[in-house]
Amino acid sequence: MPLYDAPDDLTEMESINPATGEQIESYDEHTESDIDDALDRASETFEEWRETSFAHRQTLMENAADVLRENEEKYASLMTEEMGKPIEQARSEVEKCAWVCEYYAETAEEHLQDEVIGTQSDASAFVSYEPLGPVLAVMPWNFPFWQVFRFVAPNLCAGNVGLLKHASNVPGCALAIEEVLEEAGFPEGAFTTLLAGSDKMNDVIDDRRVKAVTLTGSEPAGRAVAKRAGENLKKTVLELGGSDPFVVLDDAHVAETAEKAAKGRLQNSGQSCIAAKRFIVHTDVYDEFVEQFVEEMDSWTVGDPSEEDTQVGPQAREDLLEDLHEQVEGTIDAGAECRLGGEPLDREGAFYPPTVLVDVPTDAPAATEETFGPAAAVFEVDSEEEALELANDTSFGLGASVWTSDLERGEQFARGFEAGCCFVNEVVKSDPRVPFGGIEDSGYGRELSEHGIREFVNRKTVWVQHGLGGDVE
């Protein structure tokens, strides 16, 4: 199970520093009346916002990119404090948010231009891409700015307005994002943060003022949101968890691949849906890879996420660390060998070390569940065919990568992955220019690129019949 969701049975949200366990701030939840007022504002703002020009939306989105960059240190530090992201990675996240704002400022009009369709000589037809209205976004804590901005940028540029229910352990980030858009000049109601637990979201989804829902989170949360939205016949996009395979073929450059493997597993302290989690290695390079992979994993610096040299910070909450450790222990009990790590660090904060498990049985927790933290499961296979079969032996289908010195072989192998985002000689990543999303238990729909901005629009067919009293040149 993807471990994204914070507890929701709260009347007050507390921001806790996972590196120290100390409270940063507390926030009162929004009441039902507050939420109703927010929905009214969103609905009213939409009627005006949908009529604004692409040029105006472009200007404001470019402003948002400027606000993000001007306040990079402030927002990066906030992420580091609230969910433990290493500070340098937090700065990179802010920059990526600015990038997606600029990308859609530049491309939204092109992505949403009318699409002319050839029909017959006495008629013309086109598809018009028009906004739907207020869209509810339910977002996780692990990339507290990026996950939101990859929703915000395309949808505001498309003429929709946004409502954010963020994870309950990052309320400061949620309010800061609202602040960014206000400073950029977006009108009140174009984007609103709802400080509320999941228990209040059913009523929001039911509300006729809300036209669609997107969620990034756990599989159970995705099923619940999809069911509720489906009962209301509302469009949904779900980006759920992953157990991404990292396949090392017999002709891979082992040293470079092991270095990339560590990055793929440990980025964001291992708390990423598209992190490499299952390392499937051909027997011809298995021993060499394991040795170098363990060395690379061990070389990453674990520590205070506010320190510049820290590469792995704490897990975002103590309960997440406990869940991860239970999976590691269960995998070892099932017969795996622990080559590195495997025990919570004896220090203040929710710190778990880089961990490498080898000889992992295919029915062990690390093989069948998503391990949402810095624990890697390594498998040995005898052939390319066995590697692909094991890679696809999962209920998830988000990302996958294959590593080889033969690019044609790698591309052909990647075509065999049953996943939404497949890479050759590169760690799985999200990029504004290409669509992002999964299949099966990893969800459906796409974010980013042209595909993402067209998810929450009305694809309106307009047919114009000629020759019935109108002149056509």
What is the pLDDT, as a whole number, of residue 473?
A: 52
Distance CA(240)–CA(219), nearest Å, equals 6
Distance CA(451)–CA(437), nearest Å, equals 10
How confident is the prediction for the chain on average, in pLDDT? 96
Q: What angle do CA 197, 26, 11 make, to 5 degrees?
A: 35
Q: Does residue 396 register a pLDDT over 90?
A: yes
pLDDT in tens, 127-148: 999 999 999 999 999 999 999 9
Q: Is the domain defined by 244-424 classed in CATH 3.40.309.10?
A: yes
Distance CA(163)–CA(192), nearest Å, equals 5
pLDDT in tens, 260-272: 999 999 999 999 9
- The pairing of beta strand 355-358 with beta strand 375-381: parallel
Q: Does residue 471 register a pLDDT over 90?
A: no
The question of whether 239 is a catalytic residue gets the answer yes
pLDDT in tens, 322-369: 999 999 999 999 999 999 999 999 999 999 999 999 999 999 999 999
**Residue 282 CB coordination number (10 Å):** 22
Superfamily (CATH) of domain 12-240+438-461: Aldehyde Dehydrogenase; Chain A, domain 1 (3.40.605.10)
Residue type at 65 in one-letter notation: A
Distance CA(174)–CA(178), nearest Å, equals 7
pLDDT in tens, 219-247: 999 999 999 999 999 999 999 999 999 99
Q: Does residue 4 register a pLDDT over 50?
A: no
The question of whether 418 is a catalytic residue gets the answer no
Which residue's entry shows tokens 């157990």?
A: 243
What is the pLDDT, as a whole number, of residue 469?
A: 65
List the chain domain ranges.
12-240+438-461, 244-424
Distance CA(55)–CA(142), nearest Å, equals 33
Q: Does residue 377 register a pLDDT over 60?
A: yes
More confident residue, 47 or 469: 47
Q: Do 12-240+438-461 and 244-424 show the same overall fold?
A: no
Q: Does residue 9 register a pLDDT over 90?
A: no
Question: Helix/strand/coil (H, E, C) string of the chain?
Answer: CCCCCCCCCCCEEEEECCCCCCEEEEEECCCHHHHHHHHHHHHHHHHHHCCCCHHHHHHHHHHHHHHHHHCHHHHHHHHHHHHCCCHHHHHHHHHHHHHHHHHHHHHHHHHCCCEEECCCCCEEEEEEEEECCEEEEECCCCCCCHHHHHHHHHHHHHCCEEEEECCCCCHHHHHHHHHHHHHHCCCCCCEEECCCCHHHHHHHHHCCCCCEEEEECCHHHHHHHHHHHHHCCCEEEEECCCCEEEEECCCCCHHHHHHHHHHHHHHHHHCCCCCEEEEEEEHHHHHHHHHHHHHHHHHCCECCCCCCCCCECCCCCHHHHHHHHHHHHHHHHCCCEEEECCCCCCCCCCCCCCEEEECCCCCCHHHHCCCCCCEEEEEEECCHHHHHHHHCCCCCCCEEEEECCCHHHHHHHHHCCCCCEEEECCCCCCCCCCCECCCHHHEECCECHHHHHCCCEEEEEEEEECCCCCCCC
Interhelix angle 72-83/54-70, nearest 10 degrees: 70
Which of 101, 157, 173, 273 is flagged as catalytic? 273
pLDDT in tens, 156-169: 999 999 999 999 99
pLDDT in tens, 272-303: 999 999 999 999 999 999 999 999 999 999 99
Percent of the chain with pLDDT over 70: 97
pLDDT in tens, 91-107: 999 999 999 999 999 99
What is the pLDDT, as a whole number, of residue 268?
A: 98
pLDDT in tens, 35-75: 999 999 999 999 999 999 999 999 999 999 999 999 999 99
Percent of the chain with pLDDT over 90: 96
What is the pLDDT, as a whole number, of residue 467?
A: 87
What is the pLDDT, as a whole number, of residue 361?
A: 98
Which of 239, 296, 380, 447 is flagged as catalytic? 239
